[in-house]
Chains A and B, each alone.
Chain A
Amino acid sequence: MGSTGSVGLGGSVCVLWCCRGRCEGASETSRVERVEISVYCLSGHPTLPCNVLKFKSTTIMLDCGLDTTSVLNFLPLPLVHSPRLSKLPGWVSKDGSINLEKELKECGGRVFVDSQPELCLPERELMDLSTIDVILISNYHCMMALPYITEHSGFTGAVYATEPTLQIGRLLMEELVNHMERVPKAQTATCWKNKEIQRLLPGPLKDVAEVWAWKRCYTIQEVNSALSKVQLVGYSQKVELFGAVQVSPLSSGYSLGSSNWIIQSHYEKVSYMSGSSLLTTHPQPMDQSSLKNSDILILTGLTQMPTANPDGMLGEFCSNLAMTIRAGGNVLVPCYSSGVIYDLLECLYQFIDSANLGSTPFYFISPIANSSLEFSQIFAEWLCHNKQSKVYLPEPPFPHAELIQTNKLKHYPSIHGDFSSEFRQPCVVFTGHPSLRFGDVVHFMELWGRSSLNTIIFTEPDFSYLDALAPYQPLAMKCVYCPIDTRLNFHQVSKLLKEIQPLHVVCPEQYTQPPPAQSHRSDLMLELPAPPLPYRRCSVLSLPFRRRYERIHLLPELAKSLVPSEVKPGVSVATVSGMLQSKDNKHTLMSVPRPPPAAPTKKRKRVAEEPPELLAPKPLLSGAVPLDGFLATLHKHGVSEVKVEETADGHILHLQAEDALIQMEAHATHIVCDNNEPMRTTLRDLVLRFLQKL
């Protein structure tokens, strides 16, 4: 680069550069040095990522997952008054020095915060969130922190997501708000967060990190405002970001509308994989081939349950469900209102008859139950081929439509209203929230927890089932843990990486070592030929990848003026003098306009407004000076006494009579003759005779 300049991200500033470079027809590729790609990691949760990529003067947030495991430290929010919960004793330190009776309650040997549950937000101090240009969303589970990012942070950019991601994400946010607001709690506990106090609390509260990043749930207004910034995109649709990069979503096979993202410039390609699946479930299959040849792959959202095979878990789910119903018990399935539940219902559709469960009622209770079930049926283009083809018959893609039609599956917005009048036992209830801290599930835990005939089957992998059950102890009901996580496991991802061969892999540090509980399982970690670059919450990675080229367009009129000289067969070189215009991250090299005749004025002009002075470029020299030929020429011009000395890089010619030295090396020739300018000029001209001028 001949000159430096800054280019505004808005793309409206015009800067003139002078440059010299290699000519390739009508376009110009310029070598760029020391332009870094960096990743800011705002979340430590591997499946609820929130990373920011700084690439080619754009700042792109990749997902904004909300870590809800923090709610496990709070007491459940019962829908109806719970004498058990209301009578829980407050916590006072053993020596009585700390009294947090109003904030903390003891239950089953553990201490819980008695407050509106709080959620762990992505890191907001690591960088200025207002500088984020765009947010790319992978799936509806990874967008739950969106209002925290877009609202009240000065964010002015755009959010890109597919339509199912937006619609189902909206439903899940609304459900979360509904769950929280339905049982309002006046107080907000903050004293326990005091560092001095927290370290004196019993575990696990004592060990909880990032407590100051915990916040109460957003409001519905914030949800609506955040989602109004979302722009819809379709698979493989290319979206240009300020002319600098193109982003494009690819099907990731995990959930309805779930995507991986390709972020690429002309010469670099960054892939972002989050929550992908190779299993044949309901979404469109994963697009693997488009991820090939990436310079950088940011890999997140692998399965949280690498040892639990989804098929086996589905079998366990069905067996335990049937076993409980046959024994006259009820089954409670705490689950999210979208996602795996579609597959569970499909599996049950086939299983109901074979297990003689035809007369057992199945209830799905959620404020968004109806919308979720209906949405799943209308997003045909986002479904796998089998389900898509059903639409043309026409048939509903998911069989839960038939379950609803035949009254085997009934859905209600809450336990109040119609449900209470139609409730029959034994039955199976699907309801949220899987953390068991809020939502209708709390009521069923209170209702069924004391009977050993009943079973709770955990299918969501996000929460430790033991922690989830902690405030309900002692519990008589059976607990079965069947986490169904269809995301890629380590075996699948290893095969995939062999196939797509990225240059560098960036991943959460959890993927670079076996799980702590199974340290011998070296198969449960990423093992790549080149070690992956691990990240953790709050880390900033400067990726070892250097951008080398930038594309510059050469205007035809300027191209015409070039005179290429062939320096060796097949390689021609020409010098270019022009004016570089950079606008919207696009660079154009054009002829330098002739300066208008300067009007005599005394007014001083601003430097920036003046076109640079066009100086004729010095010719570039190429070639080598042959020693024998040069000596002959010197002799011809009367220099006969020449002593030649061989050096490591060439020769030194000592012109004894003239008392001058000519040092000839591969890339430079120096003429040393003290105070004898005519001699120097003569010798220079003799040297130049042997070189080619460009």
Chain B
Amino acid sequence: MDGECVKLLPQLCKVLAVSGKSLPDDTSLEKLLDWFSGLTNLGTGLVEACPCLPAFISTVIHNASPDPTILSFTFKLTGLLAATESSFKLLQENSLLLGSVFDPPHRWQEAGFWDDPCVRIGWVQGIRAMLQHPPALHFLVESDFTKVLLRLQTDTSLFVAAAANDVLAHILVTQSQLSGKCVDMEREEKSSIGKTVTMDADVQRLALTLGSSSDYATVVMAILEHVKASLVSKENKERHQTLQGLRLLIVVFGQARAPLLGILLKAVSEPLEALVAEGHSQLHLLLLDVLLTAYSCSSHDNPTTGQHNPTRDQVLNDPDSGQPADSLISHMLDTYKPPELIHAGAALLRRDHRDLSHKAKAAGLLLLPLEMITGLTLPGTQSAGSAEQRCSLAELMNSKTPCISLLCVCLTHATLLTCTPPDVLPCPIGSLVTVILSLLRICSGQAPISPIGSSKAYRNLIGCGKVQRCSLEALTALAVSPGAAERMSEVFSVLIEYLDNPDSEPTVLHKSYQTLLKWISVLPVPSSSIRDTLGQDLLSVVRKRVCDVRWEVRDSTVEFLGDLAALSPSNDSAQCASENPLVCSFTPHLVEALQDPESYVRASAIKALAQTFTLGWQQGAAPSQQQTALVKQLLDILSGDTEGFPRRAVIRYFSSWFSLWSQNAPGLPPPRSSSSSSSSSSSSSSSPLLLTSSVGSVLSLGSADLDWEVKVHTLELARLLLHRALSPLGASASLSGSDAASPRQPAPHPYAVTGQWAGPGGQGEAGDADPGGALAGLVEQGVLAVLLSGLFDCDRPVALKACGLLMDLRDAVCPTPAGAAPSAAVAAVTCKLQGCSWGKEVEALLERAGVVANGSKGEGSKGCDWTGDEEEEEEEGGGSVRVCDVLRSLDLDERLSVLSQSSDHVQNSPLSLLQDILSIGDRHADPNSQEVIVDCY
């Protein structure tokens, strides 16, 4: 613990005890508890290290009228302090402090504090924090707090009730694992005291069964009795108690193991059966959840090891555990009303219920509303639902809200059918696809296939975006299912209709594109007739949609075209994306979209173009005239676009290009190409020339950008260049610069700052291990300038990334200890400082390090001036410095540690928190001081 904080703590305790009401903000005490909790987790014994804390607790509980907030805090703090066994004992020894704090609650009740929910929840959370070891459980039993907890389980405050339920579940589940210890402790206790503890016979039997201590058995017994009582049928006003009992069972059943599970099941099976038989609609879904949690397959497995726990199965198959859950579930499915029935079906599938006949029934139930609406007969739904249930379901479907809601539940869960064993499936996947297509047609106002469906229900669905989206999602999920391919042409036909429909909402169109993409991805290569038809239809639709009035639609369309281009190689390896006639016909639309007034669309177009050319880049194909013209256009966007998104996308375009090209390119481009203008780049005919000449401009424009994300992306490009240059030297393949700032993500947002978009595939070519040449190349390309510019950037992520990359560079080219001379070739590489915003800062650092800028330029030194004004350089006498000197004088390690801290680390430090709280005391001491109100944004 920080020494300063330790010094301040006693003072803080005094302030808190006196002026709890006027804390700077409500979260101060929570932050304080978080800090204490962190310290406890680190192994700090707070009771020993901070004796002021028990004193504070003592002060508060002996105060006749403590502030409720402080009282609540005190409960929580006490529980936290008593969370370790040693501290617990210390506190117990300390004039029975624990007993005074928690016991008895009626003391607080009498004083009127117990009415405040914050006091009650503080008490519950204090107990919860403390219950980490057997002595705490013993204390709980001894003090008879279980009764209080059971009472609080049905507290009027939902938060208190939920917290009490949580503690009870915690006791049942976690404490059983500590029961062994409890037994030992009990034995020790008995032997040391030499007395016989009298125990209730039931408790004794339970303790024996559980193999646990009598304390645990007592608590379990009390909780069981309470839960049993709560499950017994009650009037509506007491239903809350039943609901809480069921909620507790759901939590416990999910985590409990044998033998506790068996005991619980035996105890509650009878009242559960009675509840199921009574059929209170309010309890339906909770009851089902209880049964599914207790009997579901998924919870059989140990989540950490994945191993099967045989004892649980034994418990579930034990006939003493009451009526099998299967018969209860069957009863529920036969008696439920439609809304609960469908939800029950969904729950059965979701929870992966082990009983296959139930699963089949659930699947049939889920398809029932779809069948009713579309009028299509699905074979597996015949047995689903009684005639009465079907009748009331049909009636329900005539009302708009339930109709939409039920269909959405069905469609959302229809995707689970893809994971269902074929013998359980109520119908072939192909039929399911047909039903969904029919539903989509109804939603767009087209004639249904069969006239059996309810015409009233149609009205509810025509133009309903919610059902359309759910249907499209289900269709996407079904694309990969066996048997779905038979309906491919129908699917494409409906999706094209949706894309063409003027009334399709932008979100529906977006989903349609995603679904189409998924189905195209599974389109078998030989199906050229479908491909041709689809290509023509798609072309006419996309042409229209890229001109749509709504930018969201244009954006989705452009995004789709990019994704489609990205799909092409995997489908047709013989033909690259840029040569694919379908993709080629879309490329002009993407180029046109670069002029779109909406920045998101421009950015998406740039990304899509990159995806279009990806394969060409990978194969090292020479750039077409179109690509050459595009480079100029992209550089114009980078230099002139007013929005950040397109500029970021441009940098990522070049990063992607460079990354893919460098995987196949034999060597670096010739030097002195970075200063070439964009006009010269447009005239370049070979891909390396065009790329490398552009990269220089991209780096200089990107690093000078006002948007920090553009700069980070520019640094990412610099990282790729750095990697390529340093790979032959044996530098780490994974340069830390990228990882420090932006961890890799599997699927990045197109506009997010990530470092993986253009991640290099592997090591560069070995053999060219000339560190001097590599360094000179980097200086010449402008990479070093970008890194140094980034290092002194006011945006922390930029500086952090640049710092990491500079460290990589330093370690690669001058890894020797400070003061040792670098190799001659490396030492000869210099750079200029004039004309750069960060030049003066570097100069100052160099001066401090005793390196003189002008004097360091050695004979035959190789270097370049990224200001590009050589004449001026001559006149001014150079101003060059050795790159190695610069890298060493920057003190990068220290900078990295500073930059790694978040910008608000000072404000969030414990010391700052303590000082904030203490400031209240100062304010109280000075009556003339006025509170400063600070606006926080």
Contacts and interface: CB of A to CB of B under 8 A. Distances in A.
B503 interface: yes
A351 B549 contact: yes
Contact of B448 (A308, A347, A356, A520): A520
A469 interface: no
A55 B597 CA distance: 59
Interface string A421-455: 00000000000000000000000000000000000
B144 interface: no
B447 A520 contact: yes
A531 to B, nearest CB: 17
Interface in B562-585: none
Contact of B592 (A326, A354, A522, A523): A326
Interface in A487-541: 518, 520-523
Which of B544, B547, B550, B551 has the most chain A CB within a 10 Å cutoff? B547
Given A309-B502, A315-B549, A520 B455 contact: yes
A220 interface: no
Contacts of B592: 326, 356
A86 interface: no
B445 A318 contact: no
B523 interface: no
Contacts of A314: 549
B542 to A, nearest CB: 10
B contact patch SS = loop
Contact of A318 (B448, B459, B503, B547): B547
A522 B458 contact: yes
Contacts of B448: 520
A1 to B, nearest CB: 49
Interface string B533-558: 00000000001110111110000000
A9 B59 CA distance: 101
Nearest to A490: B459
Contact of A319 (B451, B459, B548): B548
Contacts of B504: 312
A520 B458 contact: yes
B912 interface: no
A354 B596 CA distance: 6
A323 B458 contact: no
A210 B897 CA distance: 92
A316 interface: yes
B598 interface: yes
B458 A318 contact: no
Contacts of B547: 318-323, 326, 355
Interface string B459-488: 100110000000000000000000000000
**In which size bucket is the chain A interface?**
20 to 34
Contacts of A322: 547
B823 to A, nearest CB: 56
B549 A319 contact: yes
A227 interface: no
B209 interface: no
Contacts of A353: 597
Contact of B459 (A309, A326, A356, A522): A522
Interface string A302-331: 000001110011111011111100100000
A323 B445 contact: no
Given A319-B549, A323-B544, A354-B597, A521 B502 contact: no
Which of A518, A522, A523 has the most chain B CB within a 10 Å cutoff? A523
A307 B549 contact: no
B854 interface: no
B44 interface: no
Interface in A347-371: 347, 351, 353-356
B400 to A, nearest CB: 12
A438 B448 CA distance: 41
Interface in B21-73: none
Interface string B584-626: 0000000010011110000000000000000000000000000
Contact of B451 (A316, A520, A523): A520
A326 B592 CA distance: 9
B597 to A, nearest CB: 4
A521 B448 CA distance: 10
A364 B745 CA distance: 55
B605 to A, nearest CB: 13
B597 A313 contact: no
A27 to B, nearest CB: 49
B502 A354 contact: no
A322 B592 CA distance: 12
B543 A323 contact: yes
Contacts of A482: 502
Contacts of B502: 308-309, 312-313, 315-316, 482
A326 B547 CA distance: 9
A307 B462 CA distance: 10
B549 A523 contact: no
A521 B445 contact: yes
Nearest to A357: B547
Contacts of B595: 356
B886 to A, nearest CB: 47
A380 B548 CA distance: 32
Contacts of A307: 445
Contacts of B596: 354
Contacts of A520: 447-448, 451, 455, 458
Contacts of A323: 543-544, 547
A69 B544 CA distance: 31
Nearest to B447: A520
Contacts of A316: 502, 544
Contacts of B503: 309, 312
B595 to A, nearest CB: 5
Nearest to A350: B549
A183 B445 CA distance: 44
Contact of B545 (A309, A319, A347, A356): A319
Contacts of B462: 523
A518 B445 CA distance: 9
A480 to B, nearest CB: 9
Contacts of B458: 520-523
Contacts of A320: 544, 547
A634 B111 CA distance: 92
Contacts of A321: 547
B552 to A, nearest CB: 12
Nearest to A354: B597
A644 B548 CA distance: 95
Contacts of A318: 547-549
Nearest to B592: A326
A318 B553 CA distance: 13
A320 B462 CA distance: 25
Contacts of A308: 502
Nearest to B544: A319
A386 B545 CA distance: 30
B555 to A, nearest CB: 13
Contacts of A521: 445, 458
A315 B447 contact: no
A345 to B, nearest CB: 14
A202 B910 CA distance: 95
A476 to B, nearest CB: 16
A154 B216 CA distance: 107
27 contacts: A307-B445, A308-B502, A309-B503, A312-B503, A315-B502, A315-B548, A315-B549, A315-B550, A316-B544, A318-B547, A318-B549, A319-B544, A319-B547, A320-B544, A323-B544, A351-B549, A353-B597, A355-B547, A356-B595, A482-B502, A520-B447, A520-B448, A520-B455, A521-B445, A522-B458, A523-B458, A523-B459
Interface of A: 307-309, 312-316, 318-323, 326, 347, 351, 353-356, 482, 518, 520-523
Interface of B: 445, 447-448, 451, 455-456, 458-459, 462-463, 501-504, 543-545, 547-551, 592, 595-598
Given A321-B547, A354-B596, A522-B455, 10 more contacts: A307-B445, A315-B502, A318-B548, A319-B548, A319-B549, A320-B544, A326-B547, A326-B592, A520-B458, A521-B458
